[in-house]
Amino acid sequence: MIPASSRTDQTPDSSPRRTDSGIATRWQRELAEAVKSPRELVAALGLDPAVLPGALAADEVFRLRVPWSYVRRMRRGDPADPLLRQVLPVARELDEHPGYTGDPLGERAALRAPGLLHKYHGRVLLVTTPACAVHCRYCFRREFPYAEQTAGAPRWNEALEVIRNDASIEEVILSGGDPLSLSDARLAQLTDALARIPHVRRLRVHTRTPIVLPSRVDEGLERWLSRLPWPVVLVLHANHPNEIDADVRSACGRLRATGATLLNQSVLLAGVNDDAEVLAELSRRLFDCGVLPYYLHLLDRVRGAAHFEVDEERARRIAGELAASLPGYLVPRLAREVYGAPAKLSIAPIMP
């Protein structure tokens, strides 16, 4: 069983964050109203209440959180719905599996300042907030020590100082949690500080929010993105074609109009998207939204997520089928992140 001490709630600030005017925006209200109880989710989808004891026990370790706009894309009464599987706590998360740990990527060792991870040459990653619009059950930062390791205001000065003093850093990646959980004012405060560091040449934002809470892409966010002084890459995170609805398409269109490059990374998840045709349809829908498929990650072996694992040989066969069915620009790179390696490791597909 997972020790109770690892219990995680990534969203300590779950009340609606306010704008400077003191009035919560639509996305902030939706975030505050997100589903946070397995009982509520099971009832809303008309699921068999027999799943509740396991869901409630796993929820004690890592809290459920999912916006209603994402719940509305799930099929009612279907416990195997691929979107539901990504968010509903299940009893299997409590089983221990050898090799599954709280820090599968060795991130604690890569910290150079609170919330500043330096794993690869030329780029650093800032853990800007513990908050996410959704809690993905396979998240490799389920047990990240956010309380001590968040480079959010007012504590990001130490991280900024490290970036300022290292001219080899030319790209900053805003991550979390999800950086788009921060208000536009907070984001601007951070990027204004980064803009004063001359060797920073690119900004990357890793975010799942436009997929799970598309109302986050509003005028304030567009304004922030349009005013940034660097080329911006937004790396979205969608795993299944059912996640892409009209609101997501419209959000992606607005993001593209700011001039940002849009990429997508997915995680290969058993029971969710371990099927070449599902992944092919995801690539097609992403491209319809102006988003290029970028990575298809093998699962990071975080405690509580073993039931999502797809073994490497099967993953390579799925990637081979995918490559055989799509033009090359729609095929994400199958990759695994390995602790201590100088880059993500690409994994060769096995062709059918």
| Residue ranges that bind ligand SF4, judged by CB under 6 A | 132, 134-136, 139, 141, 176-178, 208
Q: Which is nearer to ligand SF4, 65 or 316 (CB)?
A: 65
* DSSP per-residue string spanning 82-123: HHHHHHS--GGGGS--TT-BS-TT-GGGGEEETTEEEEETTE
Confirm if 139 and 302 have CB atoms less than 8 A apart. yes
Residue 120 C-beta: closest distance to ligand SF4, Å: 18
Q: How far, in Å, CA of 60 to CA of 223, rounded?
A: 39
DSSP percent split of the chain into helix, strand, coil, nearest 5: 40, 15, 45
Q: Which is nearer to ligand SF4, 8 or 28 (CB)?
A: 8
Residue 176 C-beta: closest distance to ligand SF4, Å: 6
Q: Which is nearer to ligand SF4, 87 or 203 (CB)?
A: 87
Confirm if 158 and 125 have CB atoms less than 8 A apart. no
Which residue is associated with the tokens 């609805």? 245
Q: How far, in Å, CA of 197 to CA of 190, rounded?
A: 12
Q: Which is nearer to ligand SF4, 60 or 192 (CB)?
A: 60
Residue 321 C-beta: closest distance to ligand SF4, Å: 25
Sign of the torsion angle spanned by Cα atoms 153, 225, 125, 104: positive
Residue 148 C-beta: closest distance to ligand SF4, Å: 17
Closest by CA position to 129, among listed 157, 160, 145, 150:
150
Residue 320 C-beta: closest distance to ligand SF4, Å: 26
Q: Which is nearer to ligand SF4, 289 or 302 (CB)?
A: 302
